[in-house]
Amino acid sequence: MQLFVDSANLDEIKKVNDLGILGGVTTNPTLIVKQLSSTISSNNPNQKDLLKQILKISKVDILAEPISPKFDDIIKEGLELVKLSSNIVVKIPMTQDGICAVKELKLYGKRTKKIIKTAITLIFSVEQAIISALAGVDYICPFVGRLDDIGQNGLDLIKDIMTVYKNYNFKTKVIVASVRNKKHIFESSKYGADAVTVPYKIIEEMFNHDLTTKGIEKFLSDWAKVEKKGYNNIKQF
């Protein structure tokens, strides 16, 4: 299983990379706008500038979205994005234009002998996941949190997609997206999802357990007793 960070924030991506556990990065227009609008710069930075900085941090796959929903523009913007690096994966919303663009980008890759990786995002049903796999997309991003938000169980979708993908040996990888809590992560891993993409705040939470904190406190307090009294004077051991 891989852990992607769901962020366009350079500090957050760097922190996860420094831990040695970064499997990839997912961005979307919302995350890019959030990051760029909080960056004070006179150079009027854009998505490509930000992606260039992310690419300097790590050699993992970085999912980046063309903004336009129209086929021609998806291709144009997608090709601009992949010029940055073969680590850029063109992430496209689940529409007929998007699925046609996956095919076109693959053909372009073959013609030019370049590897162009694609992802289909905003997956909310098994049918959408099947279409994406049949189109030969490299990754899909099913959104669990947004399904929970409308009263459905987002994790049921992951369970069903993994069952269908296994039945037909589909090669498309499943990155569980819209992760809101640790349960989304461990349940996804039980269903065999290839990856989860997780906001930095929740990655931090993954480290924590009350008993770990208490255990460290006890190690330190026991050690402090020895340092103060010497080994021979510690009775409770």
Question: Taking the complex as a whole, how short is the minimal distance between the CB of residue 121 and ligand E4P, in angstroms?
Answer: 5
Tell me if 45 contacts ligand E4P by CB under 6 A.
no
What CA–CA distance (Å, rounded) separates 64 from 119?
9
54: burial class by Cβ within 10 Å (0-12, 13-18, 19+)? buried
b/e per residue 152-175 (b: at least 16 CB within 10 A):
eebbebbbebbeebeeeebebbbb
Nearer to ligand E4P, 10 or 225 (CB): 10
Question: Taking the complex as a whole, how short is the minimal distance between the CB of residue 226 and ligand E4P, in angstroms?
Answer: 48
User: 137 with 118: CB under 8 angstroms?
Assistant: yes
Residues 165-184 that bind ligand E4P (CB under 6 A): 177-178
Containing 58, the helix (H) or strand (E) segment is: none
What CA–CA distance (Å, rounded) separates 161 from 180?
19
Tell me if 9 contacts ligand E4P by CB under 6 A.
no
Per DSSP, 222 falls in state H
Q: Could you give the residue numbers annotated as active site?
A: 91
Tell me if 136 contacts ligand E4P by CB under 6 A.
no
Stretch that binds ligand E4P, among 109-117, 143-151, 164-172, 227-235 (CB under 6 A): 143-151
Q: In the structure encoding, which two tokens stand for residue 45, read together?
A: 């930075």
Stretch that binds ligand E4P, among 12-20, 82-90, 142-150, 185-193 (CB under 6 A): 142-150
DSSP three-state, residue 87:
coil
Tell me if 197 contacts ligand E4P by CB under 6 A.
yes
Tell me if 118 contacts ligand E4P by CB under 6 A.
no
Question: Taking the complex as a whole, how short is the minimal distance between the CB of residue 235 and ligand E4P, in angstroms?
Answer: 54
Look at residues 3, 54, 2 and name the one whose alpha carbon lies nearest to residue 27.
54
Tell me if 121 contacts ligand E4P by CB under 6 A.
yes
DSSP three-state, residue 93:
strand
Stretch that binds ligand E4P, among 38-46, 140-148, 150-158, 162-170 (CB under 6 A): 140-148
Interface contacts to ligand E4P, rule CB under 6 A: 6, 26, 28, 121, 141, 143, 145-146, 177-178, 197
